[in-house]
Structure 1
Amino acid sequence: MSTLGRRRFVMGSTALIGGATVVACAAPERESQVQSFVLQPEQSLPGQELWFATACAHTSCGNSVVVRTIDGRAKKVEGNPAFPVNQGKLNVRSQSGVQSLYHPDRLDTPKKRRGLRGAGTFNNLEWATALDLLAEKLSDASSVTIITGPISGTRARIAQDFAGAFAGEHLVYETIESSVWRQVAKAGLGVDRLPHLDIANAHSILSFGADFLSTWISPTQYSIGYGEFRQGAGERGRLIQVEPRMSTTGANADSWVYVHPGQEGALALSIAQVIAAEGLTGNDNWFDAVNAVGGLDALNAYAPDLVAERTGVPASRIQEIAREFASHQPGLAIAGGPALASANGLDNGLAVILLNRMVGSVGRVGGLLPNPGPRTGITPPVVPTTFEALASRANAWLDGDSPDVAIVFDADPVYGMPEATRFADALGSIPFVVGIGTAMSETLGHADLVLPATHAFEEWGDFAPDPMPGQQVAGYQQPVITPFVTGRSFGDVLLTAWHEVKPETAPTWETMRDAVRAGAEQSFGGSGDFEARWIDLLKNGGAWNTAHGGSFSPSQDWNINLLAEPQFSGDEIEFPMHLVPFESVALGTGDESANPWMQATPDPITSTTWTTWVEVNPKTAAALGVTRGDVVEIRTLHGKFEATVYESPVSAPGIIGVPIGQGHRFGGRWREDRGANVLAALAPLTVAGAGGLAWAATRAAVTPTNNFKQLPTIEVVPNARNDSEEPVVQISHE
């Protein structure tokens, strides 16, 4: 246990985490040796460790961390034990914050493009020259578009206000969108915020494609709840996972159920029909829920024997699922992943919401609970721009209706948007593009001016977790070290340019620190000296209370008869395989692929690292004449790429799974020219009624290439269990 004395708890604006709340790893002896600095790092006490609370560097859902520093250098990242979202826990990406901070390929100086856009050739600039160039282009611009990843708090407020001051707009890009789940919550529950999934208090979970233990929405928050669900004081919870490709959550389930792609909604309605027909809830409270969305006659059209062939789930299995789910209440039904990424994904999600209503899980402990909004003074998370809206912007830009300047931060739409959208060409039609980031990306590679950003551990900020953990939480971010490179934060760049070009509309504060502190004072100031409260906010990583989110108020615009059949890109004969892209626990959507530690983190299902593989059913592989390690070409209507075969006994015939995250041209030695980008080959189909990318609606053809590549996996022998009939040989030392 680390113990901090009063003299070490110092420096107001960068207050420390108290040792009583932090458990640290024992430091090597060499780290305790006092050194003599020519220039001593700011706030460093030679030879002694200091802990700082700040925001997680690699998640957008709102985790808080504490960073251990010695002699002004970050050494270790741990979860903030007091923070309600992650309660001291972190996933593997969050743990890699130190690696990304000291990455040798970090951008360290501004750059100006020379040559063609996308060629990746730049000249270095001084910061003063770069800012003068930015100010010049903004002065001449009639409109400015800002594109960011998901953001909230002061950073979001500045981005939105800056775009408004320059007659533009703020677009928020998510590679794998949460927009469909948000639309499900809005249409089915009547709320604009993501609901709280009370996993910890549920007795059963019926998950349709949501990989909530690995990559979906807020996996650290959900994994904590899952631990209580499995090992809490009550009965051990039961998890049933329904999906076309086995996910990490599916591998942890009590029961895993294959369903044909896009038929999750039909299966959910069939389960609901069994619950109604057999009176499994023990009351008739389900009747109002069913009557509000089409009535019992409409539901009876989904009786198990009528949808078994359609869904790929036997009628008897549907009945078993319904009985198990209904008998273990409170229960929670959720939808995510490929279930919401089919063209009928919104319908699938609303069918799952109906299941919750029938068993009484909406607004109930152990079910779906409304989340509160952020505290006054904290800008809520900006709702991500849908794929449909981004594709529409790209078409408008290509047609000549583009802004004069685009500023891109922490987003890589050139990589993540399907090539069929021509987003790279659309970005190229904008006269001047500014990219801000810590490392090169496909989008920054197409910029005219590239500005190095500070790392999350080097900058000021605040945030509203998304989703909230069932209570109101405000998070705060502070620098834990002196900047490692000469970067500037996104907010500071905008404020500097704003005050230079349009001082009459610029806010009173000129730096992110001042802006964040002003917002904190608005939220928590009250009467008396705010400085002590400010120190507490930084020390704790934020503030929270027990305020809950009120109630749900669903609309009844959807009914059972509206459930659409899934639509797919590609003829079933020419493209016989369903392509299911998925996020790996380490690389996610590719943002972490520059980090060698993430590249080397094994996939939990296949143990594969460092490359792009394709999961193929062994019988399908035999029919194709391929085996593990063979390289195949995967072709869709909109592109093609190569991947290495991994014969997976849990893959269904007709389904191929390909991880997202590889196939970059920019980003450093561990990222470039490695694997393939499956997203580029997807069809630009949208989820009807929600506008999200239907990334699970593409068919593909698989063709051998007669090439072989050894898969980098932990499972290096065909018979990993060593269960051959050959006798065991004892080797002696004689």
Structure 2
Amino acid sequence: MGLTRRQFLRWSGASTLGAVVFYGCNIPDEELQIESPLGMPEEGLALGAENWYATICGQDSGDAGVIVRVIDGRAKKIEGNPDYPINQGKHSARSEAGLQALYHPDRISSPKYRESRSGEFRDISWEEARQLLADNVSSGSTSIITNPLNGHLALLVSKFAGASGASHKAFKTVEEGVLAKVTEEVFGEKRIPDFDIANAKYILSFGADFLSTWQSPIRYASAYGEFRQGHSERGVHTHVDPRFSTTAANADNWVPIKPGGEGVLAASIAYVIMRDGLAPSAIVSKLTDGAGADYLSGFSPSAAEVHDATGLDEHRIEEMAHAFVDSHNQPSLAIGGGSAGAYTSGEFNLKAIYTLNILANNLNKSGGVIFNPESPLEALNTEEVLAAGKAATLKEINELASSGAETLIIRGANPVYGLAGNGEFASLLGNAKFVATFATSIDETTDSSNLVLPELNYLEGWGDSVPNPGPGYQVVGLQQPIVTPFAEMARSFGDEIIHLSESLGLGIVSQLGINDDPTIRGLVRNGADQLWSESRGSVTADSADGFWQGVLQRGGWWDVDAKKVSSGSINKMDNDWPSIEFGGETGDGANTFNLIPFVSNSLLDGSLSNLPWLQATPDPITSVTWEAWVEINKQTAESMDVKEGDLLELSAGGLKVKGPAYVHPGVPPWTVSMPFGQGHTVGQYASGVGENVMSVIANMIDDGTGSLAWAATRVSVRNLGNSDGERIPKFEGTVEAYEVEERHILQITGPDGDSHGHGSH
């Protein structure tokens, strides 16, 4: 009989390492014993033996904890870790597809080199690759571009950059630089807060598709279940978004706002709350510098400018404001992100949205905005380490391009695809004399390199994570190798940075105190030893070795009592009218629309496009697979003689992208939408599938942060027809999307399981 995730093997080494005690666990200790390997399991040994190992998912949003079923040394199944605080046993299709990433046929098998980037790669040894890398780093200026880093790997790379004189920037196609800056400006916090969705009674969200891809969607979706069904009264949710997203589809009320007007709406809501005396006077005084509601009079819902920016009438705005602070709806919670922060007014938008939480007086309170504490490991709280986890803005990438770096080291990032011509990265790449990439498989950026170094998959290597956002208390997740490396010549990026630092004589090993074990494992183990010395939290033990095994079994360490006690700071609101500008096509012609790109539920920003399981995962709104489609309003489609499957060409300032039409009544008539993630030119499963929407995004930035304003593009749409009669590939087959008439819903089971004869709308 197969094991369930609650039926794990007991830890056989407990008796030799001393007593290990687990606290703060959601499942009784005797039911959850995840066995960590004392030595790496090898394929072909212990035939039929089945083990479960805890680690951190390296390819999903939000640093979810997972457990991996291993039989005969091969990983067979990935599930959520029932005890890990971030996801508490829940997981996504993206997590499960980690197996395909591990055993992918396109895994890079050995280091590859070419002197000219237009030449052919040849296989070389690791010794030759290491020498090439060291020679080029030592001979000129170096820039390092990675995915946003966390934990001790962030510490290591920041130390290396400081010691070698290199610059380091984190890159993410759809970065949240606006959210990070606004969190600090509005709340005075350097870490993204936790949103206590589970205990809220009313949620007002703007743009953030938190039930699908935004920030920590697995955690949020689980909390949303509690919000809806975990209390005596069902929570109420209003979602403001120019696209009918997964989150919009689950809300009670969807408000299809005009693109860019989210901040104006939030400021208008704040004005009504102040004007009608619905917020504490002391808070209003601080937000307005004593001026009261008059401070925001320019955002009165009766103002013509407010209607023009939002498309909403005065009554609707006042209704939303009163609902947000209604005593029966407390605690209420405002959340903003995604497209709401991706305009030229992105910073203004999010600042206005998050200020609503201050008016609701919900900071660090149940059902509100919960601030996250610092890491229990002091070395991970420095500005340099925190910066390593924040994706660079387009402005920062452009500034990096002007630095004249001669050597580029790129890891876990694909800016050639992700920027698709936006900004100055192309010149940075073109002017560099030597480009080295660490990767598990070839993508557009590795294909533009001189040196390609095969990296371990996250299921093969060591690491740790301080989740950001966290759950409101201290958490350190542990990543451990659960199988032997599938690609024999793959190496750990962290280990190679340590080796490079030693080759250059930087002394980082001594600085980090890992002389006895100069590896990323040694660095992670040092952190675990520091946690052991604290004698608190979810795992305690008589010895450091016992503690180490305990945290590997649990998948990490956390202390539910280690919370941030700050109630946040209150700063004066912005009351200047925001600059809402759009690039691309000008004018308001009949076939001109706002383009609202969105992060793919399965492929994210394109980083997972090489995994067939995820290509074949139906989109939750359209059920489309293996394609990059264009969502268009049904009535608009009829006026343009567009039918489902017709090829639509989107043009913006000479840039063009194409995709099959998906006709949908839930698309606002002033927008079209297209997912990120497709249109790759490299990769057995990624290339030749759809087109890259980034290639038509106008080069616009948010005024306040310098982030790419990826939702600030207007496009003209042309119907190219469908002469071949090709159908759009979707799970629903030929069934078209249609609007369901409002019906009387009969509730047959109440929250306590009792039958009821009354209905609701």
TM-score (norm 2): 0.87
- 1:216 Cα offset (Å): 0.6
- 1:260 Cα offset (Å): 0.5
1:483 match: secondary structure: coil
Match among 640, 643, 648 for residue 627 of structure 1: 643
Q: Distance in 1 between matches of 2:156 and 2:555?
A: 21
Q: Distance in 1 between matches of 2:252 and 2:8?
A: 43
Match among 686, 691, 698 for residue 713 of structure 2: 698
Q: Identify if the C-alpha distance between structure 1 residues 204 and 579 changes in structure 2 by more than 3 Å, giving closer, same or farther.
A: same
- 1:315 Cα offset (Å): 2.1
Match among 238, 242, 245 for residue 247 of structure 1: 245
2:87 match: secondary structure: coil
Q: Identify if the C-alpha distance between structure 1 residues 3 and 358 changes in structure 2 by more than 3 Å, giving closer, same or farther.
A: closer
Q: Distance in 2 between matches of 1:688 and 1:110?
A: 42
Q: Distance in 2 between matches of 1:237 and 1:197?
A: 15
Deviates more, 1:353-362 or 1:285-294: 285-294
Q: Which residue of 1 aligns with 2:630?
A: 614
Match among 620, 629, 633 for residue 604 of structure 1: 620
Match among 257, 260, 271 for residue 259 of structure 1: 257
1:21 aligned onto 2:32: yes
**1:295 is aligned with what amino acid?**
G
**Matching of residues 39-438 of structure 1 within 5 Å:** 41=42, 45-59=46-60, 61-113=62-114, 116-117=117-118, 121-139=120-138, 141-280=139-278, 284=281, 287-292=284-289, 295-306=292-303, 307-327=306-326, 328-377=329-378, 379-380=380-381, 381=386, 382-396=388-402, 401-438=403-440
Q: Identify if the C-alpha distance between structure 1 residues 234 and 535 changes in structure 2 by more than 3 Å, giving closer, same or farther.
A: same
Q: Identify if the C-alpha distance between structure 1 residues 538 and 244 changes in structure 2 by more than 3 Å, giving closer, same or farther.
A: same
Q: Distance in 2 between matches of 1:590 and 1:416?
A: 8
**Matching of residues 715-734 of structure 1 within 5 Å:** 715-718=732-735
**1:586 is aligned with what amino acid?**
S
Q: Identify if the C-alpha distance between structure 1 residues 97 and 718 changes in structure 2 by more than 3 Å, giving closer, same or farther.
A: closer
- 1:309 Cα offset (Å): 3.7
Q: 1:572-623: per-residue Cα shift (whole Å, max 9, x none)?
A: 2478210111011101000110000000001111000101100001222223
Consecutive unaligned residues of structure 2, counting only runs of 5 or more, are 536-541, 741-761
Contact 2:400/2:428 (8 A) holds in 1: yes
Contact 1:198/1:369 (8 A) holds in 2: yes
**2:122 is aligned with what amino acid?**
N
Q: Distance in 2 between matches of 1:43 and 1:525?
A: 39
**1:270 is aligned with what amino acid?**
S
Contact 2:243/2:596 (8 A) holds in 1: yes
**1:124 is aligned with what amino acid?**
D
Deviates more, 1:105-114 or 1:483-492: 105-114
- 1:142 Cα offset (Å): 2.9
**1:494 is aligned with what amino acid?**
I
Q: 1:215-271: per-residue Cα shift (whole Å, max 9, x none)?
A: 111111111211111111342111100011111000000000111011111111222
Q: Identify if the C-alpha distance between structure 1 residues 579 and 294 changes in structure 2 by more than 3 Å, giving closer, same or farther.
A: farther
Match among 655, 659, 683 for residue 671 of structure 2: 655
1:146 match: secondary structure: strand
- 1:364 Cα offset (Å): 2.2
Q: 1:289-321: per-residue Cα shift (whole Å, max 9, x none)?
A: 543386311323322222234311122222222
2:380 match: secondary structure: coil
Q: Identify if the C-alpha distance between structure 1 residues 6 and 567 changes in structure 2 by more than 3 Å, giving closer, same or farther.
A: closer
1:467 match: secondary structure: coil
**1:436 is aligned with what amino acid?**
F
**1:157 is aligned with what amino acid?**
L
Match among 563, 572, 594 for residue 587 of structure 2: 572
**1:288 is aligned with what amino acid?**
S
Q: Distance in 2 between matches of 1:391 and 1:149?
A: 13
Consecutive unaligned residues of structure 1, counting only runs of 5 or more, are 25-38, 724-734
**1:258 is aligned with what amino acid?**
P
**2:676 is aligned with what amino acid?**
I
- 1:107 Cα offset (Å): 1.3
- 1:555 Cα offset (Å): 5.7
- 1:157 Cα offset (Å): 1.3
**2:298 is aligned with what amino acid?**
A
Q: Identify if the C-alpha distance between structure 1 residues 582 and 346 changes in structure 2 by more than 3 Å, giving closer, same or farther.
A: same
**Matching of residues 487-526 of structure 1 within 5 Å:** 487-502=490-505, 504-507=507-510, 508=515, 509-525=517-533
Q: Identify if the C-alpha distance between structure 1 residues 719 and 455 changes in structure 2 by more than 3 Å, giving closer, same or farther.
A: closer
Q: Identify if the C-alpha distance between structure 1 residues 653 and 323 changes in structure 2 by more than 3 Å, giving closer, same or farther.
A: same
Q: Identify if the C-alpha distance between structure 1 residues 19 and 683 changes in structure 2 by more than 3 Å, giving closer, same or farther.
A: farther
- 1:177 Cα offset (Å): 1.1
Contact 1:186/1:554 (8 A) holds in 2: no
Q: Which residue of 1 aligns with 2:744?
A: none
Contact 1:263/1:566 (8 A) holds in 2: no
Deviates more, 1:620-629 or 1:595-604: 620-629
1:266 match: secondary structure: helix
1:470 aligned onto 2:476: no
Contact 2:288/2:295 (8 A) holds in 1: no
Q: 1:496-540: per-residue Cα shift (whole Å, max 9, x none)?
A: 222223264544342111121122223334696311111111111
> How many residues are treated as equivalent by the alignment?
698
Identity of aligned residues (%): 38
2:83 match: secondary structure: coil
Q: 1:553-577: per-residue Cα shift (whole Å, max 9, x none)?
A: 4363642235444444431247821
Contact 1:586/1:603 (8 A) holds in 2: yes
Contact 2:498/2:508 (8 A) holds in 1: no
Q: Identify if the C-alpha distance between structure 1 residues 144 and 384 changes in structure 2 by more than 3 Å, giving closer, same or farther.
A: same
